[in-house]
Structure 1
Amino acid sequence: MGSDLPPPPAEQLCFENLNASCVKISYSPGPRLILYTVFCFGSWLAVFGNLLVMISILHFKQLHSPTNLLIASLACADFLVGVTVMPFSAVRSVEGCWYFGESYCKFHTCFDGSFCYASIFHLCFISLDRYIAVSDPLLYPTRFTTSVSGICISFSWLFSTVYSFTLYGTGANEAGLEERVSALTCVGGCQGAVNQSWVLVNFLLFFIPTLVMIVVYSKIFLIAKQQARKMESMSNNTVGSSDSYKDRVARRERKAARTLGIAVIAFLVSWLPYIIDSIIDAFVGFITPTYIFEILAWIGYYNSAMNPLIYALFYPWFRKAMKLIVTGQVLRENSSTINLLSE
C-alpha cells in the first residue's frame, strides 16, 4: 500500500538549470496575491504619498521654512525607499528569490542602510528644531535658519550614504563570517550578514539619535505643559497684543512638535524590532528564520509610507496642498502663492 502514496513534490528552484540555485518559496495563489497586494500597496503609498509631501513643500512658497525643508528631505528618503528598496524586496519576500543580479543586491543593501540612517538623522534634527521653536518661539526664526537646516540635511545624507556604501559596498560587514556566508550562499539569494563589531556600530547609530530624540521631546512636552498652564492662568487677565501673538505662535509650534513627535514614535516602533533582532542574531549565530526577518524588515519599510498619513491627519496645510495637487490646480498661474496656513 505504501507504494501507492504520491511522491513528495520536488522543490522548486529560483533558477531551474543551476544546482547551486536557492529554493523557491511555494505559495498557493491566494496567499501569494495577498502578499503582493500588501507589499505593493506599501510601496505605492511610500512613493506617491511622499511625492505629494515634497511637491507641497517645494511648490508652495508659504511652506518654505527650515522645518519643512527637513520634512521634505525626510520625505525624499522615504520616497527613495519606495522606489529602490520596497519593490525588489517584495519579489524577494514572496518568491524567496533575487532576480535582479548580484550587483544590484549590493546596491539594494546600501540603499536600505543609507535611507534608514538618513531618516533617523533627519528626525533627530527635526526634534532639535522643534525644541528651539517651542522653548523660544519668537527668537526661533533667527536661531534655526534655512542655512542651518541645509547643513543638517547635508550631514544626514552625506554621513548615511558614505557609511552605508563603505560598510556594505566593501563587504566589511561580512569580515570574519566568510565561511558561514559561503555555506549559506546560493544563486538567487540576497541576504547580507553583519558581524558582531559592525552590528554594534549600527546599533549605536540608531540608539544615540534615538536617545537624543527621547530627551529632547521629553523637554518639549514639559515646556509645552508649562506654557499651557501659564496661558490658562492669564486667560482671565487682559493681555497685550504682543503677548497674544506670542501665545498664538507658541500654540502653533507646540502643535507642530506634537505631530512630528508622533512621526518619531512611528519610526522607532517600526524599526526597533528589526534592530534588536539584528543584534541578537549576530551574537547567537544568525538563527532567525527567513520569514521572521522578512516580517521585521517590512514593518520597517512600511514606516516610509506612514509619515504622509500622519501629515494628512494632523496638518491642515498638507490636506489643502494635496487637494490642489491632485485636482491639478497647482498648474495654474501664481498657485505657489496660495495661502495654506490660515489661522
Structure 2
Amino acid sequence: MYLFMLMAIIITVTGNLAIIISISYFKQLHSPTNFMILSMAVTDFLLGFAIMPYSMIRSVENCWYFGITFCKVHYSFDLMLCLVSIFHLCCIAIDRFYAICHPLHYSSKMTFSVIRGFLAVCWSVPAAFAFGVVFSKAYASGIEGYEILVECSSSCPVMFNKLWGTILFTFGLFVPGCVMTGIYVKIFAVSKKHAHFMNNVPEKENDKKQNQLSKNKDRKAAKTLSIVMGVFLICWFPCFVTILVDPFLKFSTPAVLFDALTWFGYFNSTCNPLIYGFFYPWFRKALRHILLGKIFQPHFYTTNLFLQNQ
C-alpha cells in the first residue's frame, strides 16, 4: 500500500510540477485558458505535496498521529483543494464557451484581468467555505455522540450532518457538474454547426485551411478539457455521494470504504498530467525540453512548441 500510494504521490507532484513549469516558462503558452490550467495544476500539486502524504500514513497505519488541530487543518485544505478544482473547471468551461461559441467577442470578454478575477473567486470562496465549516464545527452539529467519537478515535474522523452533507453535494458537485455538462454540450453542438456551415461556404483555399485548423484546434481543446472534467466527476462523485447519504444511513459506511473512495478522488490529480501528456503535443515537447535542461539556455522561453497543424 505504501508503494502504490507513494507512486501516485510522485506522479501527482512531478506531473503537475511539469505543467506549472511549462506554462510559466514558455511565452507561447501564456494564454487565458492556460493560466487557468496552470492554477488548477497548482491545486493538484498542493494536494499531492501537502495532503496525500499524511492521508497515506493514516490509510496504511489506520491511525492519525498528528493531533486533532492538524486533523482539522488537513481536512480543511483537502476539502478546499477539491472545491478549488471544480471551480476551475467551471471557469475553464466558460472560457471555452466564449472561445468557440462567440469567437469574435472572446478577446474582449476573456481578458487577463477577467481571468485574475475568476482565479480570485476560485481560491477564496472554497477556502472560506472549507475552513469556516470545519473550524466552526457546523458540519457536526446535531450528530449524536460526535465529541465522544472524536476523542476516542485515533483516525481523524470528519463526518457531515444531513444539512451540510446535502449542501456540500449540491453546491460543491451536483450544480457545477450540471452547469459544466450543459456548457460542453452547447460547445459541441455549436462546433458541429460551425463545421457544417464551413463545408458549405466557398472560400479561398488558404483561408479555408486556416479556418479549418483554427476550428480543429478549438474543438480539440474543448474535447480535452471535457475529458478532464469527466475524469474529475467520475473520481469524486462516489466520495461526494457517500458524504450525502452517510448521515441518512446513521454513518454506517465502513471507514475502509470511505478511505478508498477518498483515494479514488485523489487519483484525479494524478490523472490530469497524464491526460495533458496524451492529448497535448506541446506539453510533451515542453516536458522533453525541461528534462534535457534546455530551459536554462538564454531566450529559450520563446521557442516554438506548436506544429503547423496543431
Shorter-chain TM-score bucket reads over 0.9
- Does 1:61 find its partner at 2:46? no
Aligned equivalent of 1:123: 89
Q: For each residue in 1:107-129, what CA deviation from the matched residue of structure 2 results, as whole angstroms up to 9, or x when unmatched?
A: 11001110000000000010111
SS of match in other structure, 1:177: coil
How far apart in 2 are the matches of 1:107 and 1:196? 22
Aligned equivalent of 1:270: 235
Conserved in 2, the CA contact under 8 Å of 1:137 and 1:250?
no
Which residue of the other structure, out of 125, 133, 138, is the alignment partner of 1:167? 133
How far apart in 1 are the matches of 2:131 and 2:158? 13
What letter matches 1:52 in structure 2? A
What letter matches 2:284 in structure 1? R
How far apart in 1 are the matches of 2:220 and 2:63? 45
Q: For each residue in 1:6-44, what CA deviation from the matched residue of structure 2 results, as whole angstroms up to 9, or x when unmatched?
A: xxxxxxxxxxxxxxxxxxxxxxxxxxxxx1111111111
SS of match in other structure, 1:85: helix
Aligned equivalent of 1:322: 287
The correspondence of residues 1-343 of structure 1 with structure 2, limited to 5 A, is 35-177=1-143, 179-183=145-149, 185-186=151-152, 188-205=154-171, 206-234=173-201, 237-239=202-204, 241-343=206-308
SS of match in other structure, 2:200: helix
Which one has a bigger Cα radius of gyration? 1
What letter matches 1:254 in structure 2? R
Aligned sequence identity (%): 39
Conserved in 2, the CA contact under 8 Å of 1:81 and 1:115?
yes
TM-score by length of 1: 0.86
SS of match in other structure, 2:145: helix
Conserved in 2, the CA contact under 8 Å of 1:85 and 1:108?
yes
How far apart in 2 are the matches of 1:243 and 1:135? 19
TM-score by length of 2: 0.95
SS of match in other structure, 1:139: helix
How far apart in 2 are the matches of 1:255 and 1:137? 15
Q: For each residue in 1:44-75, what CA deviation from the matched residue of structure 2 results, as whole angstroms up to 9, or x when unmatched?
A: 11111111101100111110100000000000
SS of match in other structure, 2:253: coil
How far apart in 1 are the matches of 2:203 and 2:141? 69
SS of match in other structure, 2:306: coil
How far apart in 2 are the matches of 1:212 and 1:181? 38
How far apart in 2 are the matches of 1:325 and 1:199? 43
How far apart in 1 are the matches of 2:6 and 2:59? 12
What letter matches 2:106 in structure 1? Y
1:181 positional shift: 4.2
Q: Which runs of 5+ in 2 are unaligned?
A: none
Conserved in 1, the CA contact under 8 Å of 2:150 and 2:157?
no
How far apart in 2 are the matches of 1:66 and 1:113? 26
1:222 positional shift: 0.7
Q: Which runs of 5+ in 1 are unaligned?
A: 1-34
Conserved in 1, the CA contact under 8 Å of 2:150 and 2:156?
no
1:267 positional shift: 0.1
Question: What is the number of equivalent residue pairs in this alignment?
Answer: 307
Q: What RMSD in Å do the two structures reach over aligned CA positions?
A: 1.5
